[in-house]
Chain A
Amino acid sequence: MAAQRIGLFATCPVDLFRPSVGFATAALLEAAGFTVEVPPQSCCGQVSYNNGLRDDAREVAWQLVQAFEPYDYTVLPSGSCAGMISHHYPALFAGDVRLPRVEDFCQRVYELTTFLVEVAGFTRLADNTASLSCTYHDSCAGLRELGIQAQPRELLGHCGGVVLKEMTDTNVCCGFGGTFCVKFGKVSAHMADAKLDNALATGADLLLGGDVSCLLHLAGRARRRGLDLQVRHIAEVLAGALSQPAIGEAAGQGSGKGRAP
């Protein structure tokens, strides 16, 4: 039987800022026995949707549905965009003749860690030689719209060398919130600081999460404050793809902690 085909939807922040997360995602899915393809893609429509431009969001969503419905599964390294699709697309197309196709598609859309645990049952994850002291931030949409909480932790448990140190308020928002972080910059930074301080308090060297958007915001704030804390997407750790510098760090720079001696 031919391998099942996965359409990899990288999401805007990965496409623009963090291709290594896209490649790590592809590597994990291929190792789990799937064929991975990356069709031409843009945005899931969440930016329009959350800013009150519902009609725009629907048409952006429709191009995504059309591009990805031929695949057996669509997998995203983001709880936020996956939540937008599987949680909000059906409401967005309510009363629209395209709804049945949208609903059929949405049932085959998965966030990465959920897919690896619940569909692929994949546990042959990276065996890091160096010890990685990590803490995990639960991004809001993934947590509250899709119930992603146990999955990333289970996968990290299968990952060699990872020591997970849970922080206080791991389920509280980091302050990104899409255009919120630009419109209400200081409030957003205040929320990021609370998150970063909680992460630092665990003594972990590496702050992990499942959404590059939140992580760009957190890493950017950590760099601005000069904090000794690296930020990465969980896919990079699971795939053992740590050759690229952590988010916002220059090659060979940043904190020396948490690296192989």
Chain B
Amino acid sequence: MAKTEGFFELQDIRKEYALRRGLLQRLRGGAPRVAAVDGVSLSIERGAIFGLVGESGCGKSTLAQIIVRLIEPTAGKVVYRGADVARLKAEEQRTFRHAVQMVFQDTGSSLNPRKRIRRVLAEALAARSVTGAAAEGEIASLMHQVGLDAMLLRRFPHELSGGQRQRVGIARALAMKPEVLVADEPVSALDVSLQGQIINLLSDLNRELGLTIILISHDLAVVARVCTQIAVMNAGKIVERGAPRQVLFHPTDPYTRMLIASVPRGLAGRSRRQGLGPAAVDGAAAPEDERQAAAD
């Protein structure tokens, strides 16, 4: 791993959407536009677990989709291993699509309800032209890798628990032998007792396979615990970045501070609330209030 710089870079990424207005307005070209991602530049090192934190509507999922090329940015460049991914040739394009995989939040809708787990994995392997006995062997090792019993291969997605389905989602991504895994809120639909299992699995894969992981989450505590670098996103922009401890204990941006202050603190939060009457964060202007004010 001689060259770590420039492994995966986002350069001034911008993604705009036209606000839907009347037909006439759209024809006149006067429809106002909103930037979901507003000039984001990031450099992700090979082998990192990079955390991207932000609340709903901040643009983090849009950014994830740009990273895996589900959507194209309005402006800016995604550079992978020194090459602008928008200008890849067909064959390189395929390699990129295999190398950068995504794990989704909602396992209920990202797995086909009519396909058994075996078929979900077999189809992923077939995309890499692995079939027959070779595929059988790989399916078994993938299941083992994500900590699932091979018995579950015969089941349909709805017969699995949320945590098990998320493991299948990870196994499907691993079937492509990826170098980068983008996980968009992989645990937010799971119970706290199970979140750790999935996060630890991602962490193990990072360590054992050298897989670069981009972990997108609204949960600062989860991200800070396992990531090597984190970035906080608000209103389409990166407002803070750095090592987890630095961001947690010395936040410089007011939004990051509010995010930290909002995390429930158990008994400490209780005394804070009772000591001050209304909680300290209650008075802070939340993005929601700003949105409300803007609408007024």
Do A and B form a real pair?
no
Please report A residues at the B interface, Cβ cutoff 8 Å.
Answer: none
Please report B residues at the A interface, Cβ cutoff 8 Å.
Answer: none
